[in-house]
Amino acid sequence: MAEEHHHQQLQQVLILRPPPVYTAFQDEFSKKFQVLKAYESPLPTDLFLTTQAHSVKAILCSGHSPVTADILRHLPALQLVATASAGVNHIDLPECRRRGIAITNAGTVFSEDVADLAIGLLIDVLRQISAANRFVRGGLWPTVGDYPLGSTLGGKQVGIVGLGSIGSEVAKRLEALGCIISYNSRKKKPSVSYPFYPNVIELAANCNVLVICCELNDQTRHMINRDVMLALGKDGIIVNIGRGVIIDEKDLVQCLVQGEIAGAGLDVFENEPNVPKELFALDNVVMSPHMAAFTEESFFDAYQLVVANLEAFFSNKPLVSPVINE
């Protein structure tokens, strides 16, 4: 009987391009689901979808593989878009809503790791850890001597843009480190005592540091522009672990090069993996390759959550981390 059960048809899951979370656990994943790998097919994507995947009910994606209206058009039977990321800006939400397609995401599994990296980037910019590391490795210590002074973290006024799951974790950590927190978000959070600024320019004017933790949508695209940076001022620092496009990158580069702001810690960029070359020469800019969520522990948690959502979907149970698509 057990043998028979093993041979029953595995449920099909379509993957256009393998999300990093899937790649880390693909052997385990393929024991649970029949994976349709569009990325291994010699066929053009639309032909593959029309011929091989037209009856598929679930797709697994991440930021690397957008689920556009065009993709959806080739998948008439689709009922679930599962993304291995917390963000859903790579999914055509209105089209999914129109067709009644459910969406699940990584929920809060990455929030603490992302918050840790935000703090790491901020401390690095203030205390110049990466730059000092280059100084020591370059053999400059014996010849140049003392390293330039850094800046204290405690007592800094930090504005958090987007006080969701990640923003709250960032706030908790910064509070423990002696920072003074205020925030901006779509609406004031009744459960929170930090000062609320409905306007991000006003928030910047009252802070030394901005940490970008909000999601990317039409309202937040290029929200952090030159006006916000000038309000933040010459001693100001921006940390971004959200999405690159939330910042107007041209404005950011210009303000950094001209000394209109004091520094930046960036995990995300507008056209990844391409980063503005002007930033490479600046010691007051610390960069990482969109890896804030990349830890073994959180990837395992995300993998388990993706599987739990797919299994719930295929057995008609409530989804574990549904995205409310308003």
* Residue 8 reports pLDDT greater than 80: no
Q: Which letter does DSSP use for residue 39 in this model?
A: G
Has 98 been annotated as catalytic?
Answer: no
133 phi/psi in degrees, rounded to 5: -60, -45
Is 323 within a domain? no
Please write the tens of the pLDDT for every residue from 142-171.
999 999 999 999 999 999 999 999 999 999
Asked if residue 134 belongs to a domain, the reply is: yes
Whether 324 is covered by a domain: the verdict is no
Torsion 184-181-122-264 (CA) sign: positive
Q: What is the mean pLDDT of residues 201-230?
A: 97
pLDDT tens per residue across span 233-254: 999 999 999 999 999 999 999 9
Over residues 11-24, the pLDDT tens digits come to 999 999 999 999 99
**Pair (138, 94) in one structural domain:** no
Residue 214 sits in the same domain as residue 87: no
CA distance 262 to 235: 5
User: What is the Cα–Cα distance from 316 to 163, expressed in whole angstroms?
Assistant: 33
CA angle 274, 269, 273 (to 5 degrees): 30
Q: Phi and psi for 173 in degrees, rounded to 5?
A: -65, -45
Token couple for 310: 């797919």
**CB–CB of 66/90 below 8 Å?**
yes
Q: Is the pLDDT of residue 47 over 70?
A: yes
Tokens for 144?
């140049």
User: Which of 84, 9, 12 is CA-nearest to residue 52?
Assistant: 12
Q: Same domain for 152 and 15?
A: no
Q: How confident is the model at residue 92 (pLDDT cuts 50, 70, 90)?
A: very high
The range of the structural domain enclosing residue 184 comes to: 111-287
90, 112, 243, 249: which one is catalytic?
243
**C-alpha to C-alpha distance for 309 and 34, rounded to whole angstroms:** 15
Answer whether residue 96 shows pLDDT above 50: yes
pLDDT in tens, 163-200: 999 999 999 999 999 999 999 999 999 999 999 999 99
Half-sphere exposure of 159 (CA within 13 A, CB side): 26
Share of the chain above pLDDT 70, in %: 98
Mean pLDDT value across residues 34-43: 97
What is the per-residue pLDDT for 123?
98
Could you give the number of structural domains in the chain? 2
> Do 236 and 258 fall into the same domain?
yes
- pLDDT for the residue numbered 186: 94
The verdict on residue 319 lying in a domain is no
Instruction: Tell whether 92 and 117 lie within a shared domain.
Output: no
Residues 137, 274 within the same domain:
yes
45, HSE (Cβ side, Cα atoms, 13 Å): 15
10 and 86 together in one domain = yes
Contact assessment for residue 154 and residue 178, using Cβ atoms and an 8 Å cutoff: yes
**Ordered alpha helix ranges (H), the chain:** 2-7, 20-24, 26-32, 45-52, 69-73, 93-99, 111-127, 129-137, 141-144, 165-176, 200-205, 226-232, 249-257, 296-314
Q: Quick check: is 321 in a domain?
A: no
CA angle in degrees (0–180, nearest 5) for 172-225-155: 30
pLDDT above 70 (res 7): no
pLDDT digits (tens, 9 = 90+) for 270-320: 999 999 999 999 999 999 999 999 999 999 999 999 999 999 999 999 999
Q: Please confirm whether the linkage preceding 195 is cis (ω < 30° from 0).
A: no
CATH number at residue 76: 3.40.50.720
Residue 86 covered by a domain: yes
Which entry of 112, 169, 249, 290 is annotated as an active-site residue? 290
Instruction: Report pLDDT for 326.
Output: 79
Whose structure tokens read 């598929």?
A: 56
Q: What's residue 9's pLDDT?
A: 81
Residue 116 CA to residue 118 CA, distance in Å, equals 5
What is the chain's mean pLDDT, rounded?
96
**Model-level pTM?**
0.94
Q: Given the residues 28, 272, 278, 297, select the one marked as catalytic.
A: 272
222 is catalytic: no
Q: How confident is the model at residue 2 (pLDDT cuts 50, 70, 90)?
A: very low
Tell me, yes or no, whether 119 and 79 share the same domain.
no
Q: Are residues 93 and 138 in the same domain?
A: no
Q: How confident is the model at residue 229 (pLDDT cuts 50, 70, 90)?
A: very high
Does the residue 320 lie in any domain? no
158 & 234 share domain: yes
In a domain, 201, yes or no: yes
104 shares a domain with 115? no
Is 264 found in the same domain as 212? Answer: yes
Q: Which residues contact 271 (CB under 8 A, 6 or more apart)?
A: 244
Catalytic site residue 243? Answer: yes
Rounded CA-CA distance 290/301 in Å is 19
- Give residue 4's pLDDT band: very low, low, confident or very high (50, 70, 90): very low
Burial class, 145, CB count within 10 angstroms (exposed 0-12 / middle 13-18 / buried 19+): exposed
